[in-house]
Amino acid sequence: MKLIYDLLELDKRNDISYSIGFISNILILTLLLGFFLSFLIISIFLLVAFINKFILMIVSSNIYMKFIILFFLLILLKLRQKQDLAKDIDMKLKKYFNRQDTEGLIKYKAIIMMFCVYISLCLLGLMLYKFTGNQISNSNKSDIINIFIWATYLLAPIVAIWVFSDWRIQKKYEVNKEVSLNLLTVILELENCLEELMAITTEFRCLKNDDELNFFGKKCDELSLRFIDLINKLKSNNNMHHGLVRDFKGNKIISLEMLNSADSFFQSLIDMVFEIHDNYDSDIKLKSIVDQLLQDTIKAVGENQISYRDYFGPIKELLSSECQPYRKASFKLD
């Protein structure tokens, strides 16, 4: 459905493109409607012919054949009454598959599926051959061989389309995974930078000499430059995530409020850095006095830290889920 929606989406920025797209959409929908109606009519005719043949086969068959048909109908009726049987088998298969090599099992399942499709095509061809009044015998051996060849030719494009579709989905997932991983890495580095700046302002809250002052100032300058660089990387990776993962639909995963919370957290830490410098310049070296002077700033840092974690905590979990291994499942963000 998403592919059909993207195909029929109109470009409203240009009147000519919009008009051409609108006419093209009408033609496409008309062709699709004609195709489905034709398919429906053919299916009805085939179903009616099959039912007639089946009824004639039952009427003209001997007593043993009737008992065999009745036996299989009873089995189907019994299985229909026990719908949980299929669910139980599916659960057991999932438990078994989880203990095995997933990629190897997917390959084997694909081979089995293609084999079943091939057998189905062959049976369909034989049924059509039979319904047209021909007999399946040694005298018609060449026709039967041609039916199997026809099934092979028909299966080849089906396999090609299936493989390409699966490869495209997997490739898109790998790209999305890499983009999400890069964004998650930047967020973790940014969080580490802020925590490191917070740790150094806590450790050197009361400076004792010029050596500590120089080390403290140098370290804060390094962390400040690192924070600015990471914020720019965060914005860049956020735009890339919005384009590649979300196809420019909906809001960006890192909103303006989140960026403001990170900036507020950083600014409160920088305010503390300046106040620590001012206290040292004022020759205030008693820890109890320094803590009292920095009380409001410490409170602001704590509040901004909580706000920052509340914003970025769920985002980290979401990006972590996007970085999980590919499991043949559709992946979509809100």
Q: Which residue has the higher pLDDT, 37 or 1?
A: 37
pLDDT single digits (tens) 226-278? 999 999 999 999 999 998 888 878 889 999 999 999 999 999 999 999 999 88
DSSP codes of every residue in 103-145: HHHHHHHHHHHHHHHHHHHHHHHHHHHHHTT---SGGGHHHHH
Residues 6+ apart with CB under 8 A from 249: none
- Could you give the CA distance from residue 267 to residue 270 in angstroms, rounded to a whole number? 5
**pLDDT (tens digit per residue) in 182-197:** 999 999 999 999 999 9
Residue 13 φ/ψ, nearest 5 degrees: -80, -15
Question: Do residues 301 and 173 touch, judged by C-beta distance below 8 A?
Answer: no
What is the pTM for the complete model shown? 0.57
Confidence of residue 221 (pLDDT cuts 50, 70, 90): very high
The C-alpha atoms of residue 183 and residue 181 are separated, in whole angstroms, by 5
- Dihedral angle computed from the Cα positions of residues 134, 140, 146 and 150, in that order, rounded to the nearest 10 degrees: 20
What is the rounded distance in angstroms from the CA atom of residue 320 to the CA atom of residue 327? Answer: 15
* CA distances (Å), origin 21, targets 13, 15, 25, 116: 12, 10, 6, 40
Q: What is the C-alpha separation between 207 and 278, in angstroms, rounded?
A: 11
Give me the pLDDT at residue 238, please.
Answer: 94
Domain edges within the chain: 1-81, 173-322
pLDDT of 97 above 90: no
In whole angstroms, give the CA distance from residue 7 to residue 247.
14
| Model confidence at 317: pLDDT above 50 | yes
Do 312 and 187 meet the contact criterion of CB atoms below 8 Å apart? yes
pLDDT confidence of residue 334: 39
Per-residue confidence at 332, pLDDT binned at 50, 70, 90?
very low
- Residue length, the chain? 334
